[in-house]
Amino acid sequence: MANFFFWSQIISAIAVIFLVTIQTKGTGLGRSFGQSSSIAFKRRGVEKLVFRLTFIFSFLFLFSSIIRVLI
């Protein structure tokens, strides 16, 4: 069981690192790949998905870390 939480912690840590690095501060995901767009204040499409996945994998990392300490 401890082995499962170890691997889930490793996978979630790598996913969080990847998801955070593809987010660019102050610009949308489209602008980072060369698309120019008008000013938008809401996340849409892929950018919204990346934002939500970052929170999900961060929570999984936190949860697996706490469980590993308690086991």
State the Cα–Cα distance between residues 51 and 47, nearest whole angstrom: 6
Per the structure, the complete domain to which residue 47 belongs is given by 2-70
H or E stretch including 12?
A: helix 2-22
Contact 12, 54 (CB under 8 A): no
Single pTM value for the model:
0.73
- Per-residue pLDDT tens over the stretch 48-68: 899 999 999 999 999 999 999
pLDDT at residue 13 greater than cutoff 90: yes
- Are 7 and 66 a contacting pair, CB within 8 Å? no
pLDDT > 90 fraction of the chain, expressed in percent and rounded: 59
Q: Answer yes or no: is pLDDT of 42 > 80.
A: no
Q: What's the domain count of the chain?
A: 1
